[in-house]
A = this chain, B = another copy of it.
């Protein structure tokens, strides 16, 4: 059909190898900053001869690690990689050079790298070197995996995920204030995985005082996200995990809104205090977080903080867990300072539904008209 791009026919093997690459990338997620999380698999004669993921903190890229594992077997082999290989010098030399030098025969890349320094150039240089290049396999999954990173690079502020767990009637606590445990163990395991994939976890002051949460990653081999508490005062309960473990298992940052000045300093306890002023406090926080090298934050509640990000149009992805429960009253999860009309309400684009035991989770991109 004239004008139509021929669609690539992917084989079951293609899908299998790229799935493996995606799971390598997923495992590395949360540790690769300032690089995106990428996975790479090298296949020769139908067998995996090299696997790699992005190293921690600016170390070798996924392709390099896979090539190292493959050694000489890379010659004539195929590379499956979740993101277009880079073609520019950063902390490491271009991956495209290494791929060409290793004598790979073909490359399948899930997604192009939207970084303006790459953005198709990497694939073109491979093609010019005679390597067969195909793209688009699991593109959506691969792009999704680094959506926070691409946002951070292009928009120069952290990606904000908002997570709430509520009943089917939208309540995050019953009328006695009880919120433990609304959702099931399976959902909570997913939340620990979400934390691992974010650079920081945010809660409100009330949640700190009421729950004294650890905000750690269960079975976390790779360190914990920074803990951020939004507060009206510049001090925190000294016996809280937030203060006691400050700077030890992770950064503890107290974001103080109100007042006039903006400043950042570290207390003797190790707790960092960021003053954001009274106006546009959340935007000011995101600006500070960008400057401090925090590419993504997970807002875990309470409802006030989650609602503030959502109402301010500052939430990039929403995760709402619904337990199979109805209270008929209690604390609302989403409560805006100015509730919206049906015509101008927040819509959730690209909504997906996932089942966890007795809970369901919806996730998607909140859009304010």
Residues on A lying within 8 angstroms of B by beta carbon are 166-171, 173-176, 178-180, 182, 307, 310-311, 320, 322, 324-330, 332-336, 338-343, 345-349, 351, 353, 355, 358, 360, 362, 364, 366
Contact A362 B168 (CB under 8 A): yes
Contact B176 A348 (CB under 8 A): no
Contact A364 B310 (CB under 8 A): no
For residue A175, which residues in chain B have a CB less than 8 angstroms away from its CB? 339, 341
For residue A335, which residues in chain B have a CB less than 8 angstroms away from its CB? 328-329
Contact A307 B328 (CB under 8 A): yes
Q: Which single residue of chain B is at the shortest CB-CB distance from A324? A: B348
Give me 26 A-to-B residue pairs in the complex whose CB atoms sit less than 8 angstroms apart, sorted by A's number. Answer: A169-B170, A169-B332, A169-B333, A173-B342, A310-B326, A311-B328, A322-B362, A324-B349, A324-B351, A324-B364, A325-B345, A325-B348, A326-B334, A326-B340, A326-B366, A327-B334, A327-B339, A327-B340, A328-B339, A329-B335, A329-B339, A332-B332, A351-B358, A353-B355, A353-B360, A360-B362
Q: Write the nearest CB–CB distance from A86 to chain B, whole angstroms.
A: 36
Complex Cα distance, B340 from A333, in Å, reads 16
* Copies of this protein chain in the complex: 2
Contact A347 B325 (CB under 8 A): yes
Contact B324 A329 (CB under 8 A): no
Contact A342 B182 (CB under 8 A): yes
Contact A167 B328 (CB under 8 A): no
The residue in A179, A341, A364 that gathers the most chain B C-beta atoms within 10 A of its C-beta is A341
The residue in A166, A176, A333, A342 that gathers the most chain B C-beta atoms within 10 A of its C-beta is A342
Contact B339 A174 (CB under 8 A): yes
Contact A347 B362 (CB under 8 A): no
Complex Cα distance, B339 from A334, in Å, reads 18
Contact B168 A342 (CB under 8 A): no
Complex Cα distance, B169 from A166, in Å, reads 9
Contact A340 B366 (CB under 8 A): no
Contact A174/B340 with A168-B320, A362-B168 known, Cβ cut-off 8 Å = yes
Contact B345 A174 (CB under 8 A): yes
For residue A351, which residues in chain B have a CB less than 8 angstroms away from its CB? 324, 358, 360
Q: Write the nearest CB–CB distance from A352 to chain B, whole angstroms.
A: 9
